[in-house]
């Protein structure tokens, strides 16, 4: 009912898993990863414990093949399971049980595994492998999403499509399992879940650049702040809120004219943003100049500096 990929990026050490299925909220079941440890996809007749226990075994020093072997040995229903794992050193293990519904199979490569069951054709996992090996210049998340798209193009799930998910974690081991998540996106129910996942990933990248812009602004590196905000808006030009906060940031440093222009553009589309600016003006330090506030909101608003 599912096709997925687990992988480690050789350049960055990032670990990830991505999936698509004709099943509601597939990401809550199939995708498992922990920073500095590994990633797991558990599917077919799903036994969720392969995810957390696989990560626990790898965290304790076992390789992905050793972890999978131990779990399969203890599972009387292993012939109905499909599982893939990759560890922090790029060692890969995959299992497609003999009782998985056809078409079912997997294909492994250097630091990754692609797998699927109840596919329209037996070409799906091979198409995923070819895509992942071809798109080496992309970041890990984008590479895995492209592999999902290749699976869909090759036939995908014979029952159709419903949900998708991606989880990417840092190569650095963290003290808790919830730390180190770099990308965590889910499409729970959608007519085209893979394109929707790609859209959400584009949004995430846009917000990442916006956050970098905030950091540069705090450091008073105004040229880099403007560059980061520009990249964010190039990725997600449809998100007015990013343009709004970028404008607020630039208003006080580096390029106030650009900031004011951005704010005017957002307010022209939705006057509610003028009310937000009035609220910001009451608590902001340094304060927004009254003449600027008048130009933006059309009214004079009493502005007081923020309390120390």
Q: Per-residue pLDDT averaged across 192-214, rounded?
A: 97
Residue 96 has pLDDT above 60, yes or no: yes
Tokens representing 226 are 């403007």
Asked which of 146-155, 160-169, 218-227, 251-260 is least confident by mean pLDDT, the reply is 251-260
Cα(208)–Cα(222) distance, integer angstroms: 17
Q: What is the pTM of this model?
A: 0.92
Tokens 């608003």 locate to 301
DSSP annotation of 289: P
Q: What is the pLDDT of residue 154?
A: 97
User: What whole-number percentage of the chain has pLDDT above 70?
Assistant: 96
Both tokens of 246, joined, read: 């970028």
Residue 258 to residue 252: CA distance in whole angstroms: 11
Give tens-digit pLDDT for 116-138: 999 999 999 999 999 999 999 99
Residue 156's alpha-carbon distances to 127, 190, 224, in angstroms, are 10, 15, 43
Closest CA to 244 of 224, 270, 283, 218: 270
The domains located in the chain, with CATH, are 2-191 (3.60.20.10), 205-297 (1.25.40.10)
Taking 3-state DSSP, the helix, strand and coil percentages for the chain, each rounded to the nearest 5, stand at: 45, 20, 35
299 pLDDT tier (thresholds 50, 70, 90): low
- With tokens 């770099």, the residue in question is 182
Give CA 196 to chain center in angstroms. Answer: 12
Please say whether the beta carbons of 214 and 155 come within 8 A. Answer: no
Output the pLDDT for position 298.
Answer: 85
Task: Render pLDDT for 143-200 as a digit per residue (tens, 0 to 9).
Answer: 999 999 999 999 999 999 999 999 999 999 999 989 999 999 999 999 999 999 999 9
Say which residues have a Cβ less than 8 Å from residue 187's Cβ, sequence separation at least 6. Answer: 27, 163, 164, 165, 193, 196, 197, 200
Sign of CA dihedral 24, 111, 156, 144: positive
Distance CA 53, CA 62 (A): 11
Query: Is residue 303 scored above 50 in pLDDT?
Result: no
36-71 residue pLDDT tens: 999 999 999 999 999 999 999 999 999 999 999 999
CA 26 to chain centre: 15
Is the pLDDT at 307 greater than 50? The verdict is no
pLDDT of residue 251: 86
Least-confidence region, from 5-19, 26-40, 224-238, 271-285 = 271-285
The average confidence (pLDDT) of the chain is: 94
Q: How confident is the model at residue 302 (pLDDT cuts 50, 70, 90)?
A: very low
Query: For position 157, what pLDDT does the model report?
Result: 94
């Amino acid at each position: 009912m599912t096709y997925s990929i687990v992988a480690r990026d050789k350049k960055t050490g990032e670990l990830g898993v991505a999936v698509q299925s004709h099943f509601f909220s597939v990401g809550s079941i199939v995708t498992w990863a922990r920073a500095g440890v590994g990633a797991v996809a558990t599917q077919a007749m799903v036994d969720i414990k392969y995810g957390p226990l696989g990560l626990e075994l790898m965290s304790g020093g076992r390789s992905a093949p050793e972890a999978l072997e131990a779990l399969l040995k203890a599972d009387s229903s292993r012939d109905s399971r499909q599982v893939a794992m990759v560890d922090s050193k790029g060692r890969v293990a995959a299992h497609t049980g003999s009782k998985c519904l056809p078409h079912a199979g997997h294909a492994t490569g250097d630091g990754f595994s692609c797998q699927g069951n109840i596919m329209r054709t037996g070409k799906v996992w091979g198409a995923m492998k070819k895509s992942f090996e071809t798109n080496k210049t992309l970041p890990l998340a984008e590479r895995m999403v492209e592999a999902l798209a290749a699976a869909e193009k090759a036939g995908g799930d014979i029952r159709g499509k419903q949900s998708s998910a991606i989880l990417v974690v840092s190569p650095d081991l963290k003290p808790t399992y919830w730390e180190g998540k770099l990308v965590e996106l889910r499409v729970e129910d959608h007519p085209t879940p893979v394109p929707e996942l790609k859209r959400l990933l584009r949004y995430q990248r846009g917000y990442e650049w916006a956050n970098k812009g905030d950091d540069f602004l705090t450091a008073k590196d105004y040229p880099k702040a403007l560059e980061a905000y520009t990249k964010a808006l190039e990725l997600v030009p449809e998100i007015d809120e990013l343009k709004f906060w970028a404008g607020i940031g630039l208003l006080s440093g580096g390029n106030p004219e650009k900031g004011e222009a951005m704010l005017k553009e957002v307010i022209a589309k939705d006057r509610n943003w003028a009310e937000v600016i009035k609220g910001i003006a009451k608590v902001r330090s340094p304060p927004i100049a009254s003449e600027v506030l008048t130009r933006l909101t059309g009214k004079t608003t009493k502005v007081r500096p923020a309390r120390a």
